[in-house]
A = this chain, B = another copy of it.
Amino acid sequence: MRGAILHAPGDVRVEDRDRPTIVEPTDAIIRLSAACVCGSDLWPYRGIETYDGPIPMGHEYVGIVEEVGDQVSAIKPGDFVVGSFFASDNTCEICRAGYQSSCIHRQGVGGAQAQYLRVPLADGTLVATPNVPSDDLIPGFLAASDVLGTGWFAAAAAEAGPGKTVAVVGDGAVGLLGVLAAKQLGAERIIAMSRHESRQNLAVEFGATDIVAERGDEGVARIKEMTNGLGAHSVIEAVGTQESMMQAIRATRPGGHVGYVGVAHDVQLPGEELFFSHVHLHGGPAPVRQYLPELIDLIWNRKINPGKVFDLELPLEQAAEGYKAMDERRAVKALLRP
């Protein structure tokens, strides 16, 4: 089968790879309907995150179940399923508390930018849609697999809800879907921090009530100005740099909540400032699995359309162009059709 491999920074190639097979009785093999390039894929692509040797890329996926192991009972061949980037048993104490991405048996899922994928712990990881969806719904379900689930977790961690002013740091797919999630959770005012017109427009379409183009200290000052000097109740951090984390913490009022989902790179949080900020801080790798049933329902019933974050669609063979377009910020998110 064909699949995308990262050989070196900036060097992604689609090559022949072995088609995966059932290894454990809890595995499933799925034939991918769509895959995509994640903001987090850009860290190794840019050489910021190091790795060993050529790596199969991709961890967001939807597709049709092709084959299941003997111990899989919740899904069957022919089902259309949505998964996420960590496989989880969904039965341990940590999963039951809603933190499937820290499941005691968690396994990373990789190599999803391909034709076929092996998913471990299939019963605990994959969720089937009511039927095989029509083609136009596929981008939405694909978004649920990571960026929507992550934006949703960020909004939940930031305690977005009725009566709240929510600020969103980061205008990538996760930040934009954080806007959508905050809207769904009932937030009163949603401030998207973005200086890119097309992303601002999508933010507004997803429910942003205000746009702030300033960033860093100026961005914080603008948020305070808009909130009687207090700061936002809830701030979603969807970047993962020192600057964005401090922008998020400083834009939050005392007693408010920061939900952070940008994978932190070289971030050090100053204890004393955090102490006196009085904010709640929560985040990490999103437990997407927790939200999948609800997100699938919303997408299936066309109540939300998160698939709009995909502004570039390419055949899998052109994966390299998808990476390039996202790296150069020409595209928010690239969908790949195997």
Contact = CB atoms under 8 A, between A and B. Distances in A.
Given A255-B94, A281-B280, A230 B275 contact: no
A261 to B, nearest CB: 9
A9 interface: no
Contacts of A102: 254-255, 278
Give the interface SS of chain A, mostly helix, strand, loop or mixed.
mixed
B280 A274 contact: no
Interface string A251-282: 00111000010011111111110111111111
Contact of A264 (B98, B254, B260, B271): B271
Interface in A216-254: 228-230, 240, 242, 245, 253-254
Count of identical protomers in the assembly = 2
A78 interface: no
A280 B278 contact: no
Interface in A92-118: 93-94, 97-99, 101-102, 104
Max chain B Cβ within 10 angstroms of own Cβ: one of A254, A281, A284, A285: A254
B229 A104 contact: yes
Interface string A117-143: 000000000000000000000000000
A15 to B, nearest CB: 31
A283 interface: yes
B284 A271 contact: no
Contacts of A97: 254-255
Contacts of A260: 275
A254 to B, nearest CB: 3
B269 A271 contact: yes
A309 to B, nearest CB: 22
- How many A residues touch the partner, as a band? 35 or more
A166 to B, nearest CB: 16
B268 A99 contact: no
A264 B255 contact: no
Given A230-B94, A255-B94, A268-B268, A275 B283 contact: yes
Nearest to A257: B282
A269 B278 contact: no
A275 B281 contact: no
A104 B254 CA distance: 10
Contacts of A271: 240, 242, 245, 264-269
A85 B204 CA distance: 44
Interface of A: 93-94, 97-99, 101-102, 104, 228-230, 240, 242, 245, 253-255, 260, 263-272, 274-285
Given A102-B254, A102-B255, A242-B271, 17 more contacts: A94-B253, A99-B255, A102-B278, A104-B230, A254-B284, A263-B272, A264-B275, A265-B272, A266-B271, A268-B268, A268-B269, A276-B285, A278-B285, A280-B281, A280-B282, A281-B281, A281-B282
24 contacts: A93-B228, A94-B254, A98-B255, A99-B278, A102-B254, A102-B278, A104-B229, A240-B271, A240-B275, A242-B271, A254-B284, A264-B272, A264-B275, A265-B271, A265-B272, A267-B270, A267-B271, A267-B272, A269-B269, A269-B274, A278-B284, A280-B280, A280-B282, A281-B281
Closest 5 CB pairs of A and B: A267-B271, A264-B271, A102-B254, A99-B255, A269-B269
